[in-house]
Every structure is written in C-alpha cells, then in structure tokens.
Amino acid sequence: MIPRSGSRRFLTLALVLATASASLAGDLDEVLQAETDRLQLAQASQQRIDAVVEQTSELESEYKQIMKQIDGLAVYNDYIQRQIDSQEEELAQLEQSLDQVDIVQRQIMPLMIRMLDGLEQFVELDKPFLLEERRGRVDRLRSLMERADVTLAEKFRSLTEAFQIENDFGRTIEVYKDALVLDGATIEVDVLRLGRVGLYYQSTDASATGRWDDDAQRWVATNDGKARNQVRQGLRIARKLVAPDLLLLAIPAPEVAR
C-alpha cells in the first residue's frame, strides 16, 4: 500500500512527465513542420534554378547560332563588297571607254569617207570590168554612210567588205556578158577577165575578138588567129568547161610604182 505522501509525489511526477511529453510532442511537430517547409522552399528554389539553367542554356544555344549567322553574313558581305568594288571599277572603265568611243567615232567617220573616195577613184582608174556593179556598190555605200539608223560598226563592215571584193578580183578569173561600143557600134560580147592582168572580149557570134588597151584606154580588135584561139580557150577555162591551162595572151607591161 503506497503512502498518501508518496502517492502525491507520484501524481506530481506523472503530471510533470505528461506535461513534458506534450511539450516535446509540440516541439517535434514544429520541427517537422519547419523541416517540411524548408524542403518545400528548397524544392521550389531548385525548380527556379533548373528553370534559369535551362533558359540560360537555350539563350547560349541561340547566341551561338546567331553568332554563326553573323559570321556567315560577314563573309557574304565581304564577298558582295568585293563584287561591288569590281563592278564600280568596271563601270569606271566603261565610262572611260565610252568617252574614247565618242572620240574614235568623230575620227573614224572622216576616215571612212576618205576610204570610200579612194575606192571610187580606184574603180574609175581600174580596168573597165563590171563597172555597173562596182559603181553601184560605191553609190550604195555613200547612201549607207548618211543613214543615222545604221551603226558605225555596220558602216565600217560594209566598207571593208567592198574593199575585200575589189581585192578578190585580182586573184580570180571570170567571164561575163556585156555590151561594148566598138567603132561606133554596140555589140554583145563575152568578156574574159584574168585577175587584173588583162581584159579580153569575144562577140557572141565569135566574129570579133579584142582586148582592153591600157595605154590607149579603149577596146581594140585583134586579127591574130592565135590570139583569138587563146581568148576562146580562156573563155572555156573560165566557164570550167576545160581544165586550167597556160594562156598565151598579150598583157600590159607592169608599171613602176610611184
């Protein structure tokens, strides 16, 4: 049996222990709650850090991509600038060339007129073959020179072409029909041209044969049978009826150049 005084002490101790336990339980809950709150704050902070890190990584990747584009644009801009510099230099050269073209045009037109005058004089002083054709060519060239719708290059090309035609006459032979005035009478003839060495004719009825006399500056008839035969042979050669062969025909002696 516990004494009454001991029973009081036991109750007091039990009360103290119960009070202490309740106090400890309350402190533990507070500690646990505080820890829970700390963990939640830490998790939220970590989430914010992760978001910042991810955003930073994306910004860094975007930055690197933009820098690559900038480097590429710098290279491209440098290429374009070199092209622009080259085009500006070419443009300056073209402008200079155009200025020179104007000068050349002012100089070349009088030159072409003098060339055409020389060509006309040459035709008139040359042996009288294909005169209508050659004079017509000169007349057409004079009309061409006066046309504003024809370029300078085309005028020059036509003029040099005429000179080339005249030059080719000296390296070819041909036969063509013509009407000659002989002793006051006009007769139809076949004219044999041997380059620019000699001109010979034979009437279409083969009754008359002759040659151009440079000294007398007129057509002269010949009664030499051998000469007639040679003219006939030359006509056949020019018409390609027989193979080329040596012709024994009178030709004017060459003059000393002055």
Residues whose CB falls within 8 Å of the CB of residue 138, separated by 6 or more in sequence, listed in order: 116, 119, 120, 123, 162
DSSP code, position 257: P
162's tokens: 């005429």
Asked, for residue 125, whether it belongs to a domain, the answer is yes
Find the mean pLDDT for residues 130-134.
96
Asked whether residue 1 is domain-assigned, the answer is no
Question: Are residue 160 and residue 180 in the same domain, yes or no?
Answer: no
Asked if 183 and 197 sit in the same domain, the reply is: yes
Mean pLDDT of 52-66: 81
Is the residue at 117 inside a domain? Answer: yes
In this structure, the answer to whether residues 176 and 126 fall within a common structural domain is no
Compute the distance between CA of residue 196 and CA of residue 65 in angstroms, rounded to an integer. 83
Least confident of 76-90, 193-207, 230-244: 76-90
| 219 domain-assigned | yes
Task: Indicate the number of domains in the chain.
Answer: 2
At residue 58 the predicted structure's pLDDT band, cuts being 50, 70 and 90, is: confident
Q: Say whether both 130 and 152 belong to one domain.
A: yes
Q: Do residues 212 and 189 lie in contact, with contact meaning Cβ atoms separated by under 8 Å? A: no
156 with 211, same domain?
Answer: no
Residues 127 and 184 in one domain: no
227 shares a domain with 176: yes
Chosen domain end from 144, 168, 192: 168
Give the residue numbers spanning the domain of 221: 172-238
Distance CA 182, CA 53 (A): 118
Q: For residue 50, is it within any domain?
A: no
177 and 210 in a common domain: yes
* Per-residue pLDDT band at 20 (split at 50, 70, 90): low
Write down the residue that tokens 């029909």 correspond to. 177
Bridge partners, 200 (sequence order): 192, 211
pTM: 0.60
Residues 180 and 145 reside in one and the same domain: no
Contacts of 235 (CB under 8 A, 6+ apart): 175, 190, 192, 202
Q: Is residue 132 part of a domain?
A: yes
Residue with tokens 């830490």: 42
* Beta strands at 209-213 and 198-203: parallel, antiparallel or unpaired: antiparallel
Give 209's strand partners: 202
Q: CA 136 to CA 247: how far, in whole Å? A: 32
CA 9 – CA 215 distance, rounded (Å): 178
> Is 249 a domain residue?
no
Question: Does residue 182 belong to any structural domain of this protein?
Answer: yes
Q: Of 2-11, 37-46, 78-87, 204-213, give the lowest mean pLDDT range.
A: 2-11
Last residue of a domain, one of 120, 144, 168: 168
Residues 126 and 148 placed together within one structural domain of the fold: yes
CB 133 within 8 A of CB 191: no
Q: What is the pLDDT of residue 257?
A: 45
Report residue 151 as tokens: 């370029």
Q: Are 250 and 200 within 8 A, CB to CB?
A: no
pLDDT digits (tens, 9 = 90+) for 71-127: 777 777 777 788 778 877 887 776 776 667 677 777 888 999 999 999 999 999 999
